[in-house]
Amino acid sequence: MNSKRTLFLIEVAIFTALALVLDLLPFLSFKLWAQGGSISFAMIPVFIVAFRWGLKGGLVSGFLFGVLQVALGTAWIMHPVQGFIDYGLAFTVLGFAGLFANKVKQNVKDGNTSGFISAITLGVLLACTLRFAAHFIAGIVFFDSLIDGMNVWVYSLVYNGSYLIPSFIINTIVVGFLFNKRPKLITATN
């Protein structure tokens, strides 16, 4: 196995495990709802992998992060399809931030701070929007029987937006700060 592939596998494993640890630590994750959903730093390691290794690294790390939550029993699953959407799909799509990896890397190399911050923001926004869409759909389909007196579309929108919007902001700021302070974090894979 070549050294770049080995580095890829090691980084995906380590950063995915770090995402899980960040999700489990109560002082780093503010749980809003009993059925899941928290404002946390847990997506940051997945975004680091996505921006370092591109789409493939991000998708693999996001998928593994979702699967590990199910394996450890921290997932809230009421139906297998809902579980797949909320954990398999919703966390995998975080890897789509990797579509902006080359733009982030190029802007870091060029010393274009506003360019790489913009690319990071767009990548995290895309990933969080796709994650929101997955949770929103699962909420509409599977939470209809759990709520009384409220439109399920509004409920799912408020429920999922209440933690994903702050998480988007926090993750964008922290990832941008990390790459700004340590540009080699993003350029070391080349």
What is the secondary structure of 81-97 as a DSSP string? HHHIIIIIIHHHGGGGG
CA distance 33 to 15: 26
Give pLDDT tens digits for 140-169. Answer: 888 766 667 778 888 889 889 988 999 999
Going along 32-177, which residue ranges are E strands? Answer: 38-40
Mean pLDDT, the chain, whole residue set: 88
How high is the pLDDT of residue 8? 93
Which domains are present in the chain?
3-187 (1.10.1760.20)
**Side-chain half-sphere exposure of 46, counting CA atoms within 13 A:** 33
pLDDT at residue number 150: 76
Q: What percent of the chain has pLDDT over 90?
A: 59
